[in-house]
Amino acid sequence: MGNYSKVGVSHDARTELHDKLSLTGAEISINNLPAGTGVPFIHSHKNNEEIYVVLSGKGKAIIDGETIGLEAGDWIRIAPAGKRQFFAADDEGISFACIQVKENSLECYTKEDAIIYN
């Protein structure tokens, strides 16, 4: 298990994976909001952009005062300065993952960073 980490994720309100997976370049959280509830605060970041993916359910995000509807399969990227808050729909819960990384830190990706072994 030297080159990988694996954990299971429960259906808790929030599970942060930074420590559980020994992450060194990102923070990932899994979030579950029951129907009719929301994250109890508005927040932004100093340096980190956030990428959200809706895993199941539906709801909305309010970003800089704009309401964006969300449903399973949606992806959204929010710049560090964006003031954000998330809510489940009144009739359905929402589960989403949040990936937090330092804005403008990606130097290469996909095949530029790959080493192919044949």
Digit-coded pLDDT (tens) for 36-73: 999 999 999 999 999 999 999 999 999 999 999 999 99
Higher pLDDT among residues 111 and 87, named by residue: 87
Half-sphere exposure of 26 (CA within 13 A, CB side): 15
Q: What are phi and psi of 89, to 5 degrees?
A: -65, 160
Query: pLDDT averaged over the chain?
Result: 94
Q: Is the pLDDT of residue 1 over 60?
A: no
Three-state DSSP at 24 gives: coil
Terminal CA-CA length for the chain? 23
